[in-house]
Every structure is written in C-alpha cells, then in structure tokens.
Amino acid sequence: MAEQKNQEKNETIENVQSLYSEAALMQKPKLCCPTGYAGDETSHIPKEVLDVSYGCGNPTTFKVMQSGMTLVDLGSGAGIDCFIASKKVGRYGKVIGIDMTDNMLEKASRNKELVASRLGFDNVEFRKGQIDNLPVADKTADLVISNCVINLAVDKGKVFEEIHRVLKDEGLFCVSDIVASKDVPQHLKDDKKLWGECVSGALETSKYLQAATEAGFYGLQVLKSYVWQAMEGINFISITLKGHKLKRSPECIYQGQTATYNGPGLEFKDDEDHTFKRGIPLEICMETAKRLNKAPYDSFFSISGVTGNKEESPDCSTPTKNVNAKIENDCGPGCC
Ligand SMILES: C[S@@+](CC[C@H](N)C(=O)[O-])C[C@H]1O[C@@H](n2cnc3c(N)ncnc32)[C@H](O)[C@@H]1O
C-alpha cells in the first residue's frame, strides 16, 4: 500500500516536472492565471522570465516584505517572485528560490545576473529541491512565499510542515494557491493533465487551512480570494493566505493580563479555542497576551498588562498561576 502510494506520488511529480520543463521553454497560455502584478514591481525583470510566469496571485504584495529579510520561495519557476522580492528585501536581504525543474532553474539562474546588474546587488540564490523536503536549514527564513505550487504537491500537510521548519520563530508565510469549493472527485484527481494545470490537485478550502493549522501556524488570514474557474460544479478559487509561526511556551503563566476584543464582530474565536466576547475583558495567560498584542491580532484587541506596554508591565519574576491542564477559557494542553 505504502509502496503504491509512493509510486503514485513519484508519477505525479514526474508528470508535473515534465509539463513545467516544457513550460519553461515556451509559454503555455493555459497555465497563466490573473496575478495582479503592478508594472513598476516587475520593471527590472527580463521579459523571458515574465513570459513564463505561472502564478495565480501575488504573494509579494500585502506588505509582507521588509528590507533585510531572508525569504524562501517554494516553486520559484523562472524566478518572477524571487526577483520582485530581491528588490524589496534589498542588498542586506537574501532570497532563496526552490524548484525541482531544471529548465526553470536554468532560466532563473541565467536571468539572475541581469537582474543583479540592474539592481546593483545580488541577493538571490536558486536551489534544486522538492517543496516537501526543502534543501534549507531549520529556522532560516523570516518569510516563506509560494505562488501556485502547493496545489501541485501530493501531500500538502508535509509542505506546510516544511514551511514551518524553515521559518524562524515569529516568521510568516504568504502563499497564493488554488483551492476548491468542494472535494475534488477521484476521476478529476486521476487526470494528470488537469493536476499539472493547477486544477485537480486543489484541496477543499477548509482542508487547506487545516493543513496549515496542523503544521502549527497561527492567525491564518485570507488576504485575497476569487473564483478562477468552475468545473463539474466545483469552484476553483485563487486564494492568498498568510500565517504566523509563533514561539510557543510549554506553560500557561497567568499574571493578570486581560484581552478585550474590540469588534467589529460579536465575538472572536482564536486558534487556542478562546472565545472573546466583544467589549468583555477575558483573563489570559502571558503567552496569549503576547500573541494578541502582535500582528495580525493587535488591531482587534486591547491588552492590559502585557510586556511591551511598558507602563503596564507586570513583575514577571513571580508567576501567580501555572496551568497545564485544560480548564475553561484556558489555553489548553500544550498551551498558548
Ligand atoms: C505553476 S508554476 C509557478 C511558478 C512560479 N511560482 C511563478 O509564479 O511563475 C509551478 C512551479 O513549481 C514547480 N514545482 C511543482 N511541484 C514542485 C515540487 N514538488 N517541488 C519543487 N518544485 C515544484 C514547477 O517546476 C514549476 O516551476
């Protein structure tokens, strides 16, 4: 059984690789989706790279990049997003593009010199590898991006685990991808051409989000979503999703911090199963307080007594409550 699954996985990878090997050399209009790049974002990128760009969104926007960041791009293709990122993270930043297809890597590497000469610095490196087994050391990246690639992988959960592994604590991912409004039936999944065209490998949306949550990500936000095409009653949707890797503490230490959800909804349920009613302060542990005091939550909450609000900082040397068991409104086993 395991052997058969492995064989199916290898066949899928070979099929995808052969499609993108050709698509690197000659534009395949069928693989081009609306992406939304602004002209000034790509003006330093050679046309032969732009011609074979096959993304389904634009994860390089949404203000996720800062100068000096180390960034990894999964399934970098001919390098469009790496080259946009190169300019945004600047000469003290670093961009690592990963792809499995030689022709894509060759085109990307050849154009890297030209982009570097236009920008005046060279901060991009392309590596050959699989997105579910990244050739990148643990805790390397501040940001992981990907554009229309994870749907092509057989085991999306493993890909999100790899993203989590290579991110530094406090790092984040921002990926554009195709998801489906319903489970894709087996006969579509078996259609290798449709799989390669970013259709039938799409996971149903909630399962995609679940894969990211199970890999350990917090605060998932759908930044953009639109229906790309419909087939057999299923909408195939382009989404851009962001998620955070946060350093977890094994303990819940209560020191009197509270969080008040400010709305606009009636209530807010976080990834730890706390339910915050609008306007009602809820006692939370230190880790939860720190988490809610940062993006993406901070604009929705008022936190009292959290480190960082200097005038309100509690004395952290004497924990007042230390809870590992699950209790009402607690952070749960493993905790916060
Ligand atoms: C749809 S294209 C997107 C390319 C690029 N992100 C862009 O926006 O132009 C998919 C790319 O992912 C690569 N790819 C697909 N599956 C992969 C895998 N399992 N590991 C590494 N690369 C993969 C393909 O070789 C191809 O270059």
In single-letter form, the type of residue at position 107 comes to K
Give pLDDT, residue 230. Answer: 96
What residues have CB less than 8 Å from 334, skipping those under 6 apart? 248, 250
Structure token digits, residue 17: 């690789």
Give pLDDT, residue 319. Answer: 33
Alpha helix stretches (DSSP H) within 26-176: 39-42, 47-50, 80-89, 102-119, 156-166
Dihedral sign (CA 88, 94, 98, 103): positive
Ligand 1 centroid–CA 25 distance in Å is 14
As a whole number of angstroms, the distance between CA 101 and CA 107 comes to: 10
Ligand 1 centroid–CA 149 distance in Å is 5
Give pLDDT, residue 336. Answer: 28
Question: Which residue has the least CA distance to atom 13 on ligand 1?
Answer: 75
Q: Domain residues of the chain, as ranges? A: 2-244, 252-323
Residue 239 host element (H or E)? strand 234-244
Pocket test for ligand 1, best of 35, 71, 74, 100 (most atoms within 8 A of CB): 100
Pocket test for ligand 1, best of 16, 58, 61, 132 (most atoms within 8 A of CB): 16
- Are the beta carbons of 97 and 73 closer than 8 angstroms? yes
Q: Which atom of ligand 1 is nearest to the CA of 75?
A: 12
- Binding pocket residue ranges, ligand 1, CB within 6 Å: 13, 16, 20, 53-55, 75-77, 80-81, 99-101, 104, 130-131, 147-149, 152-153, 198
Give pLDDT, residue 306. Answer: 63
Q: Which atom of ligand 1 is nearest to the CA of 52?
A: 9
As a whole number of angstroms, the distance between CA 329 and CA 274 comes to: 6
Give pLDDT, residue 13. Answer: 94
Q: DSSP code of 144? A: E
Question: Which residue has the least CA distance to atom 25 on ligand 1?
Answer: 101
Give pLDDT, residue 307. Answer: 53
Dihedral sign (CA 159, 240, 185, 190): negative
CATH number of 252-323: 3.40.5.100
Q: Which atom of ligand 1 is nearest to the CA of 198?
A: 1
Structure token digits, residue 75: 């399934």
Q: Is the pTM of the predicted complex or chain greater than 0.85?
A: yes
The answer to whether domain 2-244 has CATH 3.40.50.150 is yes
Q: Which atom of ligand 1 is nearest to the CA of 159?
A: 19
Q: Which atom of ligand 1 is nearest to the CA of 56?
A: 8
Question: Which residue has the least CA distance to atom 4 on ligand 1?
Answer: 77
- Are the beta carbons of 237 and 178 closer than 8 angstroms? yes
**For the chain (length 336 residues), average pLDDT per consecutive 10?**
85 95 91 81 96 94 92 98 98 98 98 98 98 98 98 97 97 97 97 95 97 95 95 97 86 87 95 92 90 91 70 32 31 29
- Are the beta carbons of 102 and 110 closer than 8 angstroms? no
